[in-house]
Amino acid sequence: MPSNAQRRQAAKRKLERQLERRAERERRRRRTTIALSALGVIVVLGAGVALWAVNRGDDTASEASGGEVTESESGSEYAALPAGRTEPLPETVNCAYPADGREPSKPAQPPRTEGILTTGEGNTDISVSMETNQGNIGLILHNDDSPCTVNSFLSLASQNFYDGTTCHRLTTSPSLQVLQCGDPSGSGSGGPGYQFANEFPTDQFPTDDPAAQEPVVYPRGTLAMANAGPDTNGSQFFLVYGDSVLPPQYTVFGTIDETGLATLDKIAAAGVEGGAADGAPALETTITSVRMD
């Protein structure tokens, strides 16, 4: 039976092959089009990733990031998301989850903060089943890349924070194909009452490095955190069902298995309510439970 590490490497290789095929299709498409869809890359013009950032009812989203996600003049391909950390983390790390000044959308206690394991048997790749009314979404959490994020996600799951919550946002534009979940209020502005810092891949860039704002491809099968700007992660996360172009300012903390991708494909195929490219999914999707396998 393959180990978790072997399954992870196989999944990465498969995602890389898918990315290469999609990149070739994108090159052909560019030859016949003048610009990307107005609801694709263009949705993040002006304020960078403002439209994608979680809107919590204040101005932080509009100030979240500089830099526009646009095609370069040379027409070169967007870089791929880094495959992993250049240097491994220590065996344990400490995390911080300060209050964000907002009432939790659902009662929740912050996670523990000290001695969070990053490696070792059962701690590198953690299997989780996210059951929804549309089918199971299997997740592999990458504790060695983003341990504080995984620690928070598992803590909230153990408190049943996600149970009975809706996935409130589906985006179906060519360059942004995600399902966003994790807000008990269903409004896109809710959270657990605390926040925490970005991890991988943001922390792979030096402070103020312009490359940290340049778009990369978050490949199909990526699990990442939504935010309202740097270091404002809470409970909301997004599931990438199609290669998506974003600056590396969204913490990646896992991947989605084939069963989960099949569930996401079904939800995406039904589209967005009212036929839009961004909004509530037409196929209402509710998380019934999130449990470790």
Strand partners, 137: 130
pLDDT for 63 = 30
Q: Alpha carbon of 253 to those of 85, 96, 201, 273: distances in Å?
A: 12, 17, 9, 29
- Position 8 pLDDT exceeds 60: no
**Could you report the per-residue pLDDT of 103-128, keeping only the tens digit for each?**
999 999 999 999 999 987 667 889 99
Gap between the Cα atoms of 83 and 15, Å rounded = 10
- State which residues form the domain around 56: 4-292
DSSP states along 176-208? EEEEEE--TTSSS----SB-B---TTGGGS-TT
**Could you report the per-residue pLDDT of 224-273, keeping only the tens digit for each?**
999 999 999 999 999 999 999 999 999 999 999 999 999 999 999 999 99
pLDDT for 242 = 97
Gap between the Cα atoms of 14 and 221, Å rounded = 10
How many structural domains comprise the chain? 1
CATH number of the domain encompassing residue 54 = 2.40.100.10
pLDDT for 207 = 86
Top pLDDT among 285 and 62 is at 285
- Position 196 pLDDT exceeds 60: yes
pLDDT for 35 = 31
pLDDT for 293 = 85
User: Can you tell me whether residue 30 is helix, strand or coil?
Assistant: helix
Mean of pLDDT over the chain? 81
